Structure 1
Amino acid sequence: MAWLALGLILTGVGIAGVILPLLPGTIFLILAAGCFARSSPRLEGWLLAHRRYGPAVAAWRRDRAIPIKAKLAAFAGMSLSLVVVSLSGAPPIALLSTAVLIGASALYVGTRPSGPPE
């Protein structure tokens, strides 16, 4: 029951992420599909077969691929986050740790194969 509830919540956040700028949607849909795989094969099948959301989730499962559009959105969001932290007056350790984590995340995203467009 918890997997199903979490899957439904993640699906809602993922759909909101597709609509709202700077909120990633694909990662939440990938996580939702994982939750549905453990709780509801019917909802997992619906998500994987969905015309708009399914290809990105299937590409991740098949090839661990991230669509170019999603990569660009991720890079933009990471850059904006680093600028906000830089301008916030955060202590140097916070800026450094943010930069290191964002750099590692950007490296991971950038080195994944590119999948179908969202």
Structure 2
Amino acid sequence: MPPRPSRLRPVWLTVGFFLTGLGFLGLVLPGFPGTVFFILAAAAFAKGDPKWEAWLLSRPVVGELISDYRAGRGMPLRAKWIACVCIVLAVGVSLTRIPILAGQVAWGLVGLAGIWFITLRTPTKRP
């Protein structure tokens, strides 16, 4: 007996398409991350429809990024540098817009957590 389709299937597909769109924006907009959105989109498609997950994994650049992440191969060193610089710039620019000191501290800690994760927890992919 085949498994019943999930009631959440349309939600997962909608989330997957939205995240895929953000991922493609990240490929063309400087300073806007794309890889994380593609990874999340692949996870959403895996829950919604494996056919769309396979489509995303078959994209020339995107599929390799997702496969590398899933296999634990990590990020190229250049990508790590770019990601960390973007985090520093984004946090630095946005801190002036947060009026409450506690919010500024919390946002700074979020940025530091991102840098920590990228530098120490994410493996560096060797050529």
Q: Assess if the C-alpha contact under 8 Å between 1:26 and 1:70 holds in 2.
A: no
Equivalent runs, 1:54-65 vs 2, <5 Å? 54-63=63-72, 65=74
Distance in 2, Cα, partners of 1:87 & 1:99? 11
Distance in 2, Cα, partners of 1:32 & 1:89? 30
Residue matched to 1:82? 91
- Per the TM alignment, residue 66 of structure 1 is displaced from its structure 2 partner at its CA by 2.6
More divergent stretch after superposition (6-15 vs 60-69): 60-69
Residue ranges of structure 1 left out of the alignment (5+ in a row): none
- Per the TM alignment, residue 88 of structure 1 is displaced from its structure 2 partner at its CA by 4.3
Distance in 2, Cα, partners of 1:10 & 1:59? 18
Looking at CA atoms only, which structure, 1 or 2, has the larger radius of gyration?
2
Distance in 2, Cα, partners of 1:69 & 1:25? 15
Aligned residues: 117
- TM-score, structure 1 as length reference: 0.85
Higher relative contact order (CA 8 A, sep 6+): 1
Distance 1:85 1:13, change over 3 A: closer
Distance 1:91 1:44, change over 3 A: same
- Per the TM alignment, residue 87 of structure 1 is displaced from its structure 2 partner at its CA by 4.2
What amino acid maps onto 2:113 in structure 1? A
Residue matched to 1:18? 27
- TM-score, structure 2 as length reference: 0.80
Q: Assess if the C-alpha contact under 8 Å between 2:72 and 2:123 holds in 1.
A: yes
- Per the TM alignment, residue 44 of structure 1 is displaced from its structure 2 partner at its CA by 0.9
Residue matched to 1:5? 14
Residue matched to 1:73? 82
Equivalent runs, 1:93-112 vs 2, <5 Å? 93-111=102-120, 112=122
Distance in 2, Cα, partners of 1:59 & 1:22? 21
RMSD value, Cα: 2.1
Q: Assess if the C-alpha contact under 8 Å between 2:15 and 2:44 holds in 1.
A: yes
Residue matched to 2:125? 115
